[in-house]
Amino acid sequence: MKPQEKFHQEVWWTLQKVRLISISTRKGEPLEWVMQAKPIKGMPPIGVRQKALLKIEKFGAIKVISKEVIDNTYGKDFIYTFELIQPKFDELYNEYEEEQKKEFDNQVRALKLFSDMTTPPETQRAEQTQLLKEQNVILKKLAGKESIGNNVISEKVSVVKQDRNKLAFYQETGDIEYKNEVGVVKSGNKDYSLLSLLHSSKNTAFNIEDIKKHCNHLVNKSDHKFKKEKDVDDTIRQIRSKLKLTKGAYFPIVKRGATGKKVWLWIEK
């Protein structure tokens, strides 16, 4: 990946983080981002986050009000207080989001080339392994890059033993696994489209408008498309049911916020 492409992905990651902070902050309160120096898996280094945030300010989408520095074991933490400049922030966010959507759609189409398998997954492992090898070649040609900050599908797809305490989703077959339970979601259905979106952008919050925009074109039947927040909650309950999760049991796909302002995200450390 070229340096400018890599930084472009990091700016997109930062835009999403800023948007999440905005959504989760009460109206009228200042926006605050505590940037920790401690390395966190799936998160750009603190220096990259700072540069991306200041780049967004240079674009005129935010205004940094103050910056506080705190020493800790891993170095210096930075606390940025800022405000959004509208409508510039939404315009910039939508511009980057459209680019990511095109990338996401291209790779989903590549994955779906091999998704129409009618034989149960447990009886076709040898064939599946070969298909995955061919799929990797196609993804490399289409994407030509690896995932940055979990915002796009990785070009590396392999059949490996998963950590059973983590939710696993095999987009090429529709298999899902969690805590020794397995299930299947079918391409063209709401549960498959929602998992595809959240899996490609872990630790990123999406509201109902985001989900309608990114998922509905992958749902075959018009009357099955996402229309309101309840549709997302019902779809997640359906996924939980396929994995035989009891009511109240923890699940990595969570929702935040009150009715009318709900967001959903796939949490993975």
Which pLDDT tens digit goes with each residue over 185-216?
888 899 999 998 998 888 889 999 999 999 99
Model confidence band, residue 74 (pLDDT cutoffs 50, 70, 90): confident
Judge if 50 and 118 occupy the same domain: no
Judge if 118 and 205 occupy the same domain: yes
Is residue 158 scored above 50 in pLDDT?
A: no
pTM of the model: 0.44
Judge if 186 and 250 occupy the same domain: yes
Judge if 108 and 75 occupy the same domain: no
Q: What are phi and psi of 27, to 5 degrees?
A: -60, 130
Percent of the chain with pLDDT strictly greater than 70: 76
Judge if 225 and 185 occupy the same domain: yes
Query: Buried b / exposed e across 2-27, counting CB within 10 Å, b at 16+?
Result: eeeeebbbbbbbbbbbbbbbeeeeee
Judge if 64 and 187 occupy the same domain: no
Q: Are 192 and 174 in contact (CB under 8 A)?
A: yes
In a domain, 35, yes or no: yes
Cα angle 52, 57, 58; round to 5:
95
pLDDT of residue 138: 57
Alpha-carbon distance of 181 to 172, in angstroms, equals: 19
In a domain, 242, yes or no: yes
pLDDT of residue 170: 83
Judge if 74 and 142 occupy the same domain: no
User: Bridge-partner residues for 76, per DSSP?
Assistant: 71
C-alpha atoms less than 13 angstroms from C-alpha of 206 in its C-beta half-sphere: 29
Which of 89, 123, 143 is where one domain is finished? 89
Question: For residue 263, what is the enclosing H or E element?
Answer: strand 263-266
pLDDT of residue 116: 47
Alpha-carbon distance of 168 to 176, in angstroms, equals: 6
Helix (H, G, I), strand (E, B) or coil at 256: strand
Domain range holding 227?
102-266
Q: Are 82 and 64 in contact (CB under 8 A)?
A: yes
Is residue 141 scored above 60 in pLDDT?
A: no
Judge if 184 and 249 occupy the same domain: yes
Instruction: Report how many domains make up the chain.
Output: 2
pLDDT of residue 131: 57
Q: Which residue has the higher pLDDT, 108 or 22?
A: 22
Q: What is the DSSP letter of 59?
A: T
Output the domain CATH number for residue 61: 1.10.10
Which of 28, 55, 89 is where one domain is finished? 89
Judge if 54 and 169 occupy the same domain: no
pLDDT of residue 148: 38
Alpha-carbon distance of 104 to 99, in angstroms, equals: 9
Judge if 129 and 36 occupy the same domain: no
pLDDT of residue 154: 32
Judge if 42 and 116 occupy the same domain: no
Judge if 56 and 111 occupy the same domain: no
